[in-house]
Copies of this chain bind each other. A is one copy, B any other.
Amino acid sequence: MSYFANTPKPPYFAVIFTSTLVNTEKNNRENESSYDEMATRMVELASKQPGFLGIESARQDLGITVSYWSDLESIKQWKLNEEHQSAQKLGRSDWYSAFKVRISKVERDYNL
Contacts and interface: CB of A to CB of B under 8 A. Distances in A.
Contact of A112 (B57, B96, B103): B96
Contacts of A107: 103-105
Nearest to A19: B112
Nearest to A61: B3
Contacts of A64: 56-58, 64, 66
Q: Which range contains the number of A residues in contact with the other chain?
A: 35 or more
Contacts of A105: 104-105, 107
21 contacts: A3-B18, A4-B20, A5-B18, A14-B102, A16-B66, A18-B66, A56-B64, A57-B60, A58-B60, A58-B61, A58-B62, A60-B60, A64-B64, A92-B112, A98-B112, A99-B111, A100-B109, A100-B112, A101-B109, A102-B109, A103-B107
